[in-house]
Structure 1
Amino acid sequence: MISVTMDMVQYDCPYIDVTDDVDVSFHTMHWDFNTAQQELETRILVTGNDRGALTNGLNALQNHEGTLGFELLSRREDTAVIKSFIGQTNAMRTIRKHDGYITGPFRISDGSELWSVGFDTADNTDNALADLEIGNDFRVESRNATSFEDYLDVIQHLGATKSVLDGCRELSEIERRTLQKAVDGGYFRTPRDATLGTLAEAFDVSKTAASKNLRRAEGKILRRVVAALSDIDEENDLNRE
């Protein structure tokens, strides 16, 4: 399998249009493509910079001409979960034409989205990427070939993988951004290249707030990692029997 991660800009995608105009981001939780109706049904976590931004983003998506259906499932402060329907975009059609498939959740913000897609052969990958250049702007962030052994390892440890993914999805927007800034900035290196002071300055908050956001993010991720380690041990024991 060829795994490709790309930063994609589609000009016919309602989600991208909304994030280009409003300070909201979308994180897909579940999707299902109806081949008969050529519709994509998606359950999405929506996060706004504040409550007003979330309201504006939800209204913009619901009223977008490319939105075929919209349902608000839950909402709390600046975060909501929705179910929505859109038609098949040019990029979606191209991926499917070349037997591609989704391998991870979409993350959409600031007018672009991060795609994780897979192809069975290098030829399919090359042809899809060539066709995507027609009508889309994108940048390939990574391209990796996954061996049968690696693929089997993933399949055998789906429970552990899901546990870690669930931990990532539990992060609030500020927790995710703080953790990412800490990692990218070298907070966890020895010696440290970043401090609580630099994190606080980056997000215009106090050191105490930066520390709380970072600790909450670490706690959510590490709890899931520890649970995943136990799942891996159990699955390995079963495979040896």
Structure 2
Amino acid sequence: MPRARLSISLPPDVWMRELSTTHDATAFEVVTALAGENAGIALLRIESDDLLDILADVRSRPDVGDVDLLWKRELTALVQVETTSPPLLFPLWQAGVPVKMPFTVLDGSATWELTTSSDRLSELREHLDEAGIEYDLESVVEIGSSEADRLLTPRQREVLAVAIDAGYYAVPREATLTDVAETLGVSKSTCSDILHRCESSIVTWFAEEQFTQP
């Protein structure tokens, strides 16, 4: 099952595009949203020095119906907006693909993270194309049982499993590198090299997952 990351360029007929490009220094966080064919409802978190101007701008949009200010404190507001323009999330609804919430719209662009089947991801891309929504598929990563296969070779998984079972990674450590090597019937240097490669792959993967997000 793939986990995908898409950079979306909002089309001109979506009200959030003009709003976010007019106020290009403000990030509009979509906390949650509902999409239909002809209408959409979004809950937005807005943090800005110009909150009153932004709220007035939202209300002035011809394709925006109801605007409810649910909560406001200093420079932050939570707003529910109902719109009659073609919803940005409609292709997701068509493909039956849930998107990770919240996501941020900044200067006419949004980043979606989603986990779905390969077939539904392909269907989503077709609906985005049909809607004329430009996007960049930044990454696709297979998750689940295949993740370990992608990170480690069978031999590396075997050595790592022996090290874990022996207590090599326990705190305090319950087995030495020599103990693990003897269990595997390999030299200490070979065992060390394999474990270092395992650790490097796992740490690199973790860093990419956790620290490269916007």
State TM-score, norm by structure 1. 0.52
Question: Residues 9-88 of structure 1 correspond to what in structure 2 (within 5 A)?
Answer: 9-11=9-11, 12-22=13-23, 23-33=25-35, 35=36, 38-48=38-48, 50=49, 53-87=50-84
Hey, what's the Cα distance between the residues in 1 that align with 2:14 and 2:103?
Answer: 13
Q: Say which of 107, 115, 123 aligns to 2:112.
A: 115
Aligned residue in 2 for 1:2? 2
* Contact persistence 1:10–1:16 (CA under 8 A): yes
- 2:142 aligns with 145
Instruction: Using the TM superposition, give the Cα deviation of residue 57 of structure 1 relative to its aligned residue in structure 2, in angstroms.
Output: 1.6
- C-alpha RMSD of matched pairs (Å): 2.6
**Cα distance, 1:85–1:147 mapped onto 2, change above 3 Å:** same
Mean alpha-carbon deviation: is it higher for 126-135 or for 6-15?
126-135
Q: Shift of residue 88 of structure 1?
A: 6.4
CA contact (8 A) 1:39 1:86 kept: yes
Residue type at the aligned position of 2:20? T
Per the alignment, in what secondary structure is the counterpart of residue 6 of structure 1? strand
Answer whether contact 1:74 1:81 (CA < 8 A) is retained. yes
Where does 1:125-164 land on structure 2 (aligned, <5 Å)? 125-134=121-130, 135-147=132-144
Deviations, residues 197-230 of structure 1 (Å, cap 9, x unaligned): xxxxxxxxxxxxxxxxxxxxxxxxxxxxxxxxxx
Q: Which amino acid aligns with 1:13?
A: V
Q: How far has the Cα of 1:116 moved from its partner?
A: 2.2
Contact 2:39–2:86 under 8 Å retained in 1: no
Q: Which amino acid aligns with 1:2?
A: P
Deviation at 1:17, TM superposition (A): 1.6
- C-alpha change, 1:88 and 1:128, in structure 2 (3 Å) is farther
Q: Does 1:124 align with 2:124?
A: no
Q: Kindly tell me: are residues 97 and 88 of structure 1, through their superposed partners in 2, closer, same or farther at Cα, counting changes over 3 Å? A: farther
1:7–1:115: 8 Å Cα contact kept in structure 2?
Answer: yes
- The SS at the match of 1:125 is helix
Structure 2 residue 92 is matched with structure 1 residue 101: no
Tell which deviates more after alignment, 99-108 or 121-130: 121-130
The alpha carbon displacement at 1:97 in A equals 2.0
Mapped to 1, the partners of 2:93 and 2:122 lie a distance apart of 14
* Cα-to-partner distance string for 1:14-60 (whole Å, 9 max, x where unaligned): 22220101132211223334x5x853322211012x2xx32222111
**1:91 offset after TM fit, Å?**
4.5
Q: Are residues 127 and 30 of structure 1, via their aligned partners in 2, closer, same or farther at CA, if it must alter by over 3 Å?
A: closer
- Percent identity, please: 16
Q: TM-score, normalised by structure 2?
A: 0.58
1:107, 1:17 → 2: CA distance? Answer: 15
- Paired amino acid for 2:105: I
Aligned partner of 1:77: which letter? E
What SS does the corresponding residue of 2:89 show, helix, strand or coil?
Answer: helix
Per-residue deviation, residues 76-95 of structure 1 (Å, max 9, x unmatched): 23221111112463642222
Q: Alpha-carbon deviations, 1:75-121, whole Å to 9, x = none?
A: 223221111112463642222222212223120111111122332x2
**Does the 8 Å contact 1:19/1:111 carry over to 2?**
yes
Amino acid at match of 2:32: H
